[in-house]
């Protein structure tokens, strides 16, 4: 069952990464090599500009600034120049390719200027709306930064709690190992029962299961913290 679940987990990971399901995937990381470097009192702030939400808001702000500029330009006069040049045979005979007969040139050149006078204050209303949208986006930056800061604070707290739980489960696993070792020695010396050994080994398996569950939660908390601080892509 564990081998089947492992194969299924690898298949799901390939799907999440956009890999070919038939491609070979080798996991290089080892549980023994996992380390957690974290200090709750580091006081570091999240890197807002590395968050996709911040980038989207920046793009929206640039588009709104362009919209405001476009509406302001509508107050400017427009000047259009035009011209044309052509030849006309000015005859009814179909001898257009006769080089001995004359063609008459016609040319036209001109310019047109448009000056906006009054449009019922439509342009003014659009400009005011664009300014209001920019103010909303500005307030959106403040709200986003506050939200990301709170998210980072929560992630740091979750990370601290996860590490505390992991340390507790590590000590429980060590204690369960000692109990099993003691129970086996007692059984070998004839002062303990086989039931005591089986019970100790069962407790050890439970302790190991709880330890790996706590380790998994710590890894999830670490990923959430890296995401909250905007360093997830840098770390990987």
Q: Where are the alpha helices (DSSP H) in the chain?
A: 2-17, 52-73, 122-188, 194-229, 232-235
For residue 41, what pLDDT is reported? Answer: 54
Q: How many residues does the chain have?
A: 236
Mean pLDDT of 155-172: 93
Q: Could you tell me the pTM of the whole model? A: 0.66
Distance CA 10, CA 23 (A): 11
Distance CA 102, CA 57 (A): 67
Average per-residue pLDDT in the chain?
A: 87
CB of 103 closer than 8 Å to CB of 89: yes
pLDDT-derived band at 139 (thresholds 50, 70, 90) equals: very high
Mean pLDDT of 80-90: 88
Each residue of 11-61: pLDDT tens digit?
999 999 999 988 988 888 787 777 887 765 555 677 788 888 888 999 999
Sequence-ordered list of residues with C-beta below 8 angstroms from that of 4, at least 6 positions apart, any chain: none
């Amino acid at each position: 069952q564990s081998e089947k679940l492992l194969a299924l987990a690898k298949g799901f990971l390939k799907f999440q990464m956009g890999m070919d399901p038939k491609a070979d995937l080798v996991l290089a990381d080892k549980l023994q090599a996992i380390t957690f470097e974290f200090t709750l009192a580091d006081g570091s702030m999240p890197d807002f500009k590395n968050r996709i939400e911040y980038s989207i808001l920046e793009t929206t702000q640039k588009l709104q600034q362009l919209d405001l500029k476009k509406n302001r330009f509508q107050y400017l006069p427009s000047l259009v120049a035009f011209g044309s040049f052509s030849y006309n045979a000015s005859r009814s005979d179909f001898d257009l390719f006769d080089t001995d007969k004359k063609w008459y040139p016609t040319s036209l050149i001109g310019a047109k200027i448009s000056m906006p006078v009054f449009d019922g204050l439509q342009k003014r209303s659009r400009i005011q709306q664009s300014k209001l949208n920019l103010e909303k986006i500005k307030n959106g930056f403040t709200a986003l930064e506050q939200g990301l800061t709170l998210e980072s604070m929560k992630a740091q707290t979750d990370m601290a709690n996860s590490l505390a739980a992991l340390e507790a489960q590590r000590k429980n696993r060590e204690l369960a190992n000692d109990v099993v070792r003691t129970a086996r020695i007692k059984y070998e010396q004839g002062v303990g029962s086989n039931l005591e050994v089986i019970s100790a080994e069962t407790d050890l398996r439970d302790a190991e299961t709880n330890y790996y569950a706590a380790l998994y939660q710590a890894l999830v908390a670490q990923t959430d913290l890296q995401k909250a601080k905007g360093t997830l892509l840098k770390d990987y």
